[in-house]
A and B are shown apart, each in its own frame.
Chain A
Amino acid sequence: MGFWKHIRPRFVWSSAASFRYTFCLGGLSFLAFIVLALTGLLLMFHYEPGSGSFNSILTIHSYIPFGDIIRSLHYWAGQIMVLTVTLHMLRVIWTKSYKPPRELNWIVGISLLILTLFLDFTGFLLRASQESTSAGTIAHNLVTLIPGVGLDLAYMIFGESTSPGTSSLKVYVFHCVFLPLSVFFLQGYHFWKIRKDGGVKPL
């Protein structure tokens, strides 16, 4: 239970409690993540991966009661999360918080940034619009260029190349299960490690 003991520290440095030291960017990213998890879970009840995906989004957006609000919340929380996570990284550079003893948490944070970008991209692919299927084709072909494993890897991630209006079941599983769970557990470690490394007090 070291997690809960470290997440509520005995004391916090007053300088670390200052709003202007962190701008709450990490916390805002976590809030966006919670909104994304809740709205994403709701969207899974009506979204159809595969050939019906573009139509199912149209149905969610224009027919299902409150579907437009839930989808818009998911979309905008996603946009905001990419923004706040990036700004959070810039803040960490600005306050030099990547320095010892926090190198490991910096690496974890970079992993979280990459995972967030992958979540954003796979979410974009699941829209199955003409634009996003083109992006999917490009990403698929980029992965194929990796010598040796490229073709297998591309099939593992994207499945068969898709036509407009169609989304890949594999991308759906990555977006809804694998990536969010990885982010969830890495986030837990990230928060715990902040306290373990001595809060957010300046060096």
Chain B
Amino acid sequence: MKQDDQTFIEAPSSTGWTRRKFLQLGTKSGSLAIMASALISVWPITRYLSSRPSLGPSVLKVKEEAFPPNQWMQIPSSRVWLLKDERGYTALLATCTHLGCEVKLHSDNLWHCPCHGSIYDEEGRPRSGPALKALPRLAMTRDSEDTLTINLNKTVGMDVRIL
């Protein structure tokens, strides 16, 4: 050991350890342990924060009798509207195809989006504003004599009807 490397004089110790050395090692390994635990917590915390507890229902069941013909009728507390015409039933999802705000059927028989002013005609085809695609129609199945089941995750063409 070279003498000129020593900047201070330590009290002699039988083990070669001094309090200063011990505390320096402790500080270093402590900081390392904190950094390591922060690093391994990143993945669990990301998973924890990004977890969605409630996805909401993926189907809607509707009683048929409540809907008069040739008129869009909103299913209560949902964005789904039903229309019964001479060919059968169709379900429309009143979510703007621009950025997802809820559109409403106004008294001029056009669908208006309150967010950026997109306007759709009665069938849901875009007429003006930033939206370029038509309002989606949802797939339906007939469960029983008077119950329709609407699949909120599956869209169908505008002309599809169910009897």
Contacts and interface: CB of A to CB of B under 8 A. Distances in A.
Asked if A and B are interacting partners, one says yes
Interface of A: 42, 45-46, 56, 59, 63-67, 69-70
B53 A42 contact: no
B47 A65 contact: yes
B48 A42 contact: yes
Given A63-B53, A65-B48, A66-B45, 7 more contacts: A42-B48, A42-B49, A46-B51, A63-B51, A65-B44, A66-B44, A70-B48
A66 B45 CA distance: 8
B154 to A, nearest CB: 26
Interface residues of B, number: 7
A64 B53 contact: yes
DSSP majority for the B interface? helix
20 contacts: A42-B45, A42-B48, A42-B49, A45-B48, A45-B49, A46-B51, A46-B53, A63-B53, A64-B48, A64-B51, A64-B53, A65-B44, A65-B48, A65-B51, A66-B44, A66-B45, A66-B48, A67-B48, A67-B51, A69-B44
Nearest to A56: B53
Contacts of A46: 48, 51, 53
A63 B53 CA distance: 7
Interface string B81-118: 00000000000000000000000000000000000000
B90 to A, nearest CB: 36
A18 to B, nearest CB: 13
Interface string B15-57: 0000000000000000000000000000011011101010000
A42 B50 CA distance: 12
B35 to A, nearest CB: 15
A45 B51 CA distance: 10
